[in-house]
Amino acid sequence: MTQKKKTRVAILGTGNIGTDLLIKAMRSDYLECTLFAGRNFRSDGMQQATKLGVNISDRGIDAIVEQADNIDLVFDATSAAAHLEHWPVLQKLGKTVIDMTPAKVGELCVPAINSQDVCGGGASNINMITCGGQASVPIANAIGAVQKDIEYIEVASSIASRSAGPATRANLDEYIETTEQALIRFSGAKTAKAILILNPARPPIDMQTTIYAKIQNPDLAAIRASVDEMMARIIAYVPGYQLIVPPTIEGGKVMTTVKVLGNGDYLPRYAGNLDIINCAAIGVAEDMARMGKE
């Protein structure tokens, strides 16, 4: 039996997220990185790609246009503002795009919730929400699956300041808006609030996210069972995802806390915020490859 041809991917953006994506894509049985495109050959990401023997370019989106025939899928790991410029170009080329920015142009996706639906539904632009969204939305969804009366949901994510690069800092407004939109959509809550805390502590802290849900008559046993089921789905593609405070009642709200440790591929393990969104994106790309969508 011959092995199915791998899906050829291009990574646009050679910062922390793009470089870590590259390492993960190279390890995949379903993906092959045919282009790593940025703006600076001297960047750490470009140097890493060179050592790995990957085809690189400093022409950004223009390189994807020039090498389009050798690309099936594009990861856009730049910024929300840049993605708004990139998408019309990539759409014209007929490329499937996994957007790592909070631009929310495409279908919002959390693999544990709707990867199969998104991949099977013909979406050509898939948005990975935010790092805090990937950590919190599945838990919010699990609560919403057994509680239909969520009045309000709040999510507070603390990450190491050192794991927040220039694009993350430039996208803070979009981060808040996109995370809140995803929380409402996937939990059914009437309103939502997202908070991101950049902690400058040394040594750097691990990513930690606390979810609060205001519910009139919470069924704690049902919520815990639903969250446990969701945890199993998340850990399948994010091994470092941990439930450190099970759902409990605190101050009239259901509260639970998760922590994310990274794989330590290109990024340090404390950068779980970047690792979780990359693991999610690779998971979606592999689902597409398995389903034969490019």
Kindly write down the DSSP assignment for every residue of 8-33, as one continuous string: EEEEE--SHHHHHHHHHHHH-SSEEE
Cβ-contact 189, 151 below 8 angstroms: yes
Residues of the chain with pLDDT under 70: 1-4, 293-294
Kindly write down the DSSP assignment for every residue of 203-254, as one continuous string: SPPPEEEEEEEEESS--HHHHHHHHHHHHHHHHTT-TTEEEEEEEEEETTEE
Which pLDDT score is estimated for 3? 52
Instruction: For 95-144, write each residue's pLDDT tens digit.
Output: 999 999 999 999 999 999 999 999 988 899 999 999 999 999 999 999 99
Which pLDDT score is estimated for 287? 95
Going by C-alpha positions, the residue among 163, 5, 4, 9 that lies closest to residue 98 is: 9
Cβ-contact 183, 155 below 8 angstroms: yes
User: Residue 105 is encoded by which pair of tokens?
Assistant: 């142009």
Question: Does 131 participate in catalysis according to the annotation?
Answer: yes
Which pLDDT score is estimated for 98? 98
Which pLDDT score is estimated for 274? 94
> Annotated catalytic residue: which of 33, 109, 119, 131?
131
Edge-to-edge strands, sheet with 150-160: 191-199, 150-160, 207-215, 253-260, 241-250
Which pLDDT score is estimated for 251? 87
Torsion, Cα 175 284 275 241, to 10 degrees, reads 100
- Cα(159)–Cα(142) distance, integer angstroms: 23
Which pLDDT score is estimated for 185? 97
Cβ-contact 71, 95 below 8 angstroms: yes
Neighbouring C-beta atoms of residue 166, cutoff 10 Å: 10
Which pLDDT score is estimated for 2? 44
- Cα(124)–Cα(246) distance, integer angstroms: 37
Which pLDDT score is estimated for 293? 55
Identify the residue whose tokens are 């999510």.
155
